[in-house]
Amino acid sequence: MKSVIPARKRRQFAQETRLAKVRRARKIDRILAQVFPDARAELDFTNPFELLIATVLSAQTTDVRVNQVTPALFARYPSAHELA
């Protein structure tokens, strides 16, 4: 798969310091917040584990359907340990 980022830019990003990456990420976050001020996830979740599972499921069906089935799933398997 061909990258949409030119090779010169990829090298520049690879050599970035951690601080520069953090600053760039914050700038991107600010821009996205301005462009999409009311953005929110369509998936219902209460913790990172639930978001991960809901995201994986949403690749196979609609977010609406995922939101219908995850309450029962998370009631039965509330954590990764119970799901394993």
Q: Is the pLDDT reported for residue 11 higher than 80? A: no
Residue 73 near residue 53, CB atoms below 8 Å:
yes
Domain ranges for the chain: 1-39, 48-83
Predicted TM-score (pTM) of this structure: 0.61
Give per-residue pLDDT as tens, 32-74: 999 999 998 899 999 999 999 999 999 999 999 999 999 999 9
Q: Which residue has the tokens 């760039």?
A: 24
What are 79's two structure tokens?
């954590």
Residues 6+ apart with CB under 8 A from 64: 42
Amino acid at 58: S
Query: Mean per-residue pLDDT for 1-26?
Result: 82
Q: Is the pLDDT reported for residue 1 higher than 70? A: no
Residue 52 near residue 41, CB atoms below 8 Å:
no
Residue 5 pLDDT: 77
